[in-house]
Amino acid sequence: MTLSPQVAAGPRHPPEHPAQRRVLAVLVASQLVSGIGLTAGVVVGSLIAEEMLGSTGLAGLPTALFTGGSMLGALGIGRLCQAWGRRPGLGLGYAVGALGSVGVVVAVAADQVALLLPALLVYGAGTATNLLARYAGADLAAPERRGRDVSRVLLASTAGAVAGPNLVSLVGGPAEEWGLSRTAAPFVLAAVGYAVAAVVVGALLRPDPLRSARARGPVATAEPAEAAGKAGAAGTAEAVEAARDPVRTPGVATGLWIMVLGQLPKVALMAMIPVHLAANGHGTAAIGLVVSLHIGAMFLPSPLSGLLVDRWGPLPVAAVAGVTLAAAALLVGLAPGDSVPLVAAALLLAGVGWNLGLVGGTAVVTAAAPPGRGAATQGLADVGLSVAGCTGGLLSGPVMAAGGYGTLAVGCALVALLVTPVALWAARPSRAAAAGGPASAPGAARRR
């Protein structure tokens, strides 16, 4: 198999920056606290909607709204990072997420649906920031360690994300004493977590990883026109087109489809699991436990996923992700609703599958992003991720109301299974280099 020019010539980026360890430490610290906010909407969003709107069919609306807010947040934060760096982009994103969390608490306290809906939209910016932070972990990383450094940032979200749902019972009592509904407690935690993360990033993320990467990597950070000129006469048109519309770049499109086809079914499954469990007689404690286990499985495998991506390439890892997520969806659909252990086991597997797809897709997008458009392209990719989540949230309620949770799970399995042929098609020898697949991965170069 012929290696891509980049692999044959060796990595085009300098080795790991001396500030990379400090950058990772700050990102990990911010993710530890912001992870608390990541699960608030998942744990009680559908329950709040069912209570305030009086309809199971509309119970998926909060998920659709905060994932829609995540879409807008990803677009805005990506552009802000592109223009000014990671520190102002991530810091503002966390601050906006905190503001939205406060808005949800006020809306629930006042029983105002008109305030709840836009507040959920604004809250979604925190979710977008939490995910976009993973790209900052790769800015100064050595090429052969990108997957593992991205995974470290993702892993840091686990502690807060797992702890968040289980802190609801502790915060619920004081919340009721303050005149708030117990269901608003997770959003109180989210407001605190996102606010602290905004302060940590704003005060400590120095040097800015993206600006530092630009300063030391002129080839990687050239403006689109300059990059096109360097590509030679034969590739000028293609380079300019990729810079103008990066999503059409083969590797970016492949990574985007991998993440989208994993995100949609995962969100749909999770959006309705609180309603599904509540309908089978389980309370918020059981629901919180299942959701926290699922969130843990979404992020805890990150080191292994990153290692596999660095060693074998992102496309084979993504192919495994599709099969894993589809199997999990079928399992949760077949599991009796009154069996918390079986439901939890299925959602653990779903979290693992999603993680493999996210880390693999992120690696593909990062490697294939046009020169000078890295942060903006990453933001666009996460817009697609949010659109998929929004779609999953919107469809989950009506599908479950019409056919039950089992029907929803089967549909999710079919969508998730599409990840595998997409990854395998892109991994073909003729397409692997363009898609950031095994032929262009650092690990692949060593194997060959």
* pTM above threshold 0.75: no
pLDDT at 201: 96
In a domain, 448, yes or no: no
**Residue type at 393 in one-letter notation:** G
Q: Rounded CA gap, 323 and 328, in Å?
A: 9
In a domain, 271, yes or no: yes
Residue 220: phi and psi, rounded to 5, are -75, -20
Peptide bond into 207 cis (omega under 30): yes
Please determine, for residue 82, whether its predicted confidence score (pLDDT) is greater than 80. yes
Q: Rounded CA gap, 201 and 335, in Å?
A: 42
Provide the pLDDT confidence category of residue 438 given band limits of 50, 70 and 90. Answer: very low
Region 344-356: what's the mean pLDDT?
94
Residue 51, both tokens: 């209570």
Please determine, for residue 265, whether its predicted confidence score (pLDDT) is greater than 80. yes
Number of domains observed in the structure of the chain: 1
Nearest CA to 148 out of 310, 375, 369 is that of 310
Question: pLDDT tens, 12-61?
Answer: 445 667 888 999 999 999 998 888 777 666 667 767 777 777 766 666 67
Residue 359: phi and psi, rounded to 5, are -65, -40
Q: CA 10: distance to chain centroid?
A: 30
Instruction: Please provide the average confidence, as pLDDT, over all residues in the chain.
Output: 79
Residue with tokens 């404690």: 285
Please determine, for residue 264, whether its predicted confidence score (pLDDT) is greater than 80. yes
HEC profile of 226-266: HHHHHCCHHHHHHHHHHHHCHHHCHHHHHHHHHHHHHHHHH
Q: Rounded CA gap, 431 and 208, in Å?
A: 34
In a domain, 3, yes or no: no
Contact 356, 246 (CB under 8 A): no
pLDDT at 199: 96
Provide the pLDDT confidence category of residue 94 given band limits of 50, 70 and 90. Answer: very high
For 25, the domain range is: 16-209+243-443
Side-chain half-sphere exposure of 106, counting CA atoms within 13 A = 14
Between 108 and 161, the more confident residue is: 108
pLDDT at 168: 63
Rounded (10°) CA dihedral 302, 306, 308, 310: 180
Please determine, for residue 319, whether its predicted confidence score (pLDDT) is greater than 90. yes
Q: Rounded CA gap, 140 and 216, in Å?
A: 9
pLDDT at 93: 95
Residues 6+ apart with CB under 8 A from 326: 353, 413, 414, 416, 417
Question: pLDDT tens, 336-348?
Answer: 877 888 999 999 9
Residues 6+ apart with CB under 8 A from 296: 158, 161, 162, 348, 351
- For 388-434, give the DSSP string: HHHHHHHHHHHHHHHHHHHHHHHHHHHHHHTHHHHHHHHTSTTTTTT
The CATH number of the domain holding residue 366 is 1.20.1250.20
In a domain, 124, yes or no: yes
In a domain, 55, yes or no: yes
pLDDT at 202: 95
Residue 217: phi and psi, rounded to 5, are -125, 70
Nearest CA to 124 out of 194, 189, 54, 178 is that of 194
Between 210 and 176, the more confident residue is: 210
Contact 441, 310 (CB under 8 A): yes
Q: Rounded CA gap, 413 and 269, in Å?
A: 10
pLDDT at 6: 39
Region 110-136: what's the mean pLDDT?
88
pLDDT at 1: 36
In a domain, 90, yes or no: yes
pLDDT at 250: 64
Question: pLDDT tens, 236-253?
Answer: 444 444 444 455 566 788
In a domain, 221, yes or no: no
Three-class SS of residue 15? coil
Contact 126, 34 (CB under 8 A): yes
In a domain, 54, yes or no: yes
